[in-house]
Structure 1
């Protein structure tokens, strides 16, 4: 149903003549008459009837006017609610990896409850490929993802990625005396005979490990896969292998973190949304707050 025709019907009810409606709307009387006739055909009933030299609404016309008033008010409310400058209001669906949710999103949820109580967040924990698939299927509004400088994500013209933060990673190994290795290939060479632990739900760190092992002249023996970084540390303490860990992580007893330099290993986190969606005030607000928190974590 064309809301423009409903607007003309409401104006006709208010002003009482098609000529007055035409003047108020900046159009012609014949246009108003034609649009009311089209609306009557769409509804399957007469909406106006002759009344002297004028017309008046039929009972069906008056009833439709009541509905039209409510419909037009709802349309205007929706327009104002979704306008870029509107007060954020709505539910934002976010899918992201555990570190981003725990360290950045959960504190933000608490902040939003106080500053923007009409904005609600639904959280789903997913690795980047899973989160991006949900974004493509329109089953989430924002994907919190990551890649590495040595395993960059493939660009997608359908989405917009907002950089959040970066984090340097090292190699987690069983505690042992210093090896004296200084560069990343030297560190990898020291552990070429060890088993290697990689992520069970994302291939990015495996790509990094294989790339660096190739630079060191060997093929890593990847035997264990785990999604949880705590579990990776547990596997290291059990001497099941070695694996990548964030340099800022709290280490379990029995785990040592060796720096990786030349080349460095850097994780890069992003907030990803479909193009055009950041015009929606709640999503724009959440993305902006995440970016600020990532840039200034103490504020």
Structure 2
């Protein structure tokens, strides 16, 4: 049914007179009558009946007018939600890797709670490939992802990507292990993203080694635990708080740099909650690792 006709019925229930409805809506009385007749035909029920020189709503008209209040309210809420100039309201679904959630998204959440309490974040922890898949199926609105300078990502045209921050990475080794000795050790790489392994193979090969990939895990804490246990070496952010028994050796020639991004489907940034969160991410750029 046409919402403009439904609004006439709601106004008739409120005002009680077609003449008053016509004056309120800037129409003629005959136009109001015609539009209500079309609405009655559309819904298949008599909505208005004579009451002396006036009209009144039938029981069916009263029930539809009650529904109309809710329907028109929902339509207005949807219009405001999609209005680029409206105050941000709604749930924003974000998929991101763990460090970006901790270092970038949680500070944004704190600001939202203080300044925009009607915007709610729904957070999903995912590696980049998983986050991109969720973007493509519209299961999330925003993805926090990363790439390495030695394993760069080409963003398809369907995405808009914003650089957030970068951080150098080093090679984490058992305490006291030199870089020359580290290349020949077993390696620990990410179990949910092949970029770590690609970087490990590139860096090791440039120093004349083929790395032995022995262990796979996606928790940086667990990577350190495996290193302390003497099970291998792995890539870690240069500024990470290393456990006792772990040294993080700087890498050069080439350096290894992680670059973090905020990614969304192209054409979606006019939606107020997404636009707001992107602005907050851009204004709060911490330095972090994976």
**TM-score, normalized by length of structure 2?**
0.82
Match of 2:247 among 232, 240, 256: 256
* Aligned-pair CA distance for 1:161: 1.9
* Aligned-pair CA distance for 1:266: 1.0
* Aligned-pair CA distance for 1:205: 1.0
Alpha-carbon distance between aligned partners in 2 of 1:275 and 1:28, rounded to the nearest angstrom: 47
Q: Would the alpha carbon gap of residues 259 and 90 (structure 1) be closer, same or farther in structure 2, given more than 3 Å must change? A: same
What corresponds to 1:161 in structure 2? 161
> What number of residue pairs does the alignment pair up?
285
Q: Would the alpha carbon gap of residues 49 and 208 (structure 1) be closer, same or farther in structure 2, given more than 3 Å must change? A: same
* Aligned-pair CA distance for 1:166: 0.7
Q: Secondary structure at the match of 1:94?
A: strand
What corresponds to 1:278 in structure 2? 269
Gaps of 5+ in 1: 180-186
Please list the CA deviations of residues 195-233 of structure 1 after superposition, one character each: whole Å capped at 9, or x if unmatched: 111011111111111223333444321011121112212
Match of 1:196 among 181, 184, 187: 187
Q: Would the alpha carbon gap of residues 265 and 29 (structure 1) be closer, same or farther in structure 2, given more than 3 Å must change? A: farther
Alpha-carbon distance between aligned partners in 2 of 1:68 and 1:194, rounded to the nearest angstrom: 71
Alpha-carbon distance between aligned partners in 2 of 1:114 and 1:277, rounded to the nearest angstrom: 25
Q: Secondary structure at the match of 1:279?
A: coil
* Aligned-pair CA distance for 1:9: 4.1
What corresponds to 2:148 in structure 1? 148
Q: Would the alpha carbon gap of residues 235 and 19 (structure 1) be closer, same or farther in structure 2, given more than 3 Å must change? A: closer
Is this contact kept in 2: 1:148–1:266, CA < 8 A? yes
* Aligned-pair CA distance for 1:192: 3.8
What corresponds to 2:18 in structure 1? 16
Is this contact kept in 1: 2:22–2:29, CA < 8 A? no
**TM-score, normalized by length of structure 1?**
0.80
Alpha-carbon distance between aligned partners in 2 of 1:177 and 1:130, rounded to the nearest angstrom: 35
Q: Secondary structure at the match of 2:67?
A: helix
Q: Secondary structure at the match of 2:26?
A: helix
Is this contact kept in 2: 1:18–1:33, CA < 8 A? no
Please list the CA deviations of residues 161-181 of structure 1 after superposition, one character each: whole Å capped at 9, or x if unmatched: 2221111111112233655xx
Taking only aligned residues, the RMSD between alpha carbons, in angstroms, comes to 3.2
Alpha-carbon distance between aligned partners in 1 of 2:5 and 2:239, rounded to the nearest angstrom: 62
Is this contact kept in 2: 1:17–1:55, CA < 8 A? no
Deviates more, 1:270-279 or 1:200-209: 270-279
Alpha-carbon distance between aligned partners in 2 of 1:245 and 1:10, rounded to the nearest angstrom: 63
Q: Would the alpha carbon gap of residues 207 and 35 (structure 1) be closer, same or farther in structure 2, given more than 3 Å must change? A: farther
Alpha-carbon distance between aligned partners in 2 of 1:29 and 1:227, rounded to the nearest angstrom: 70
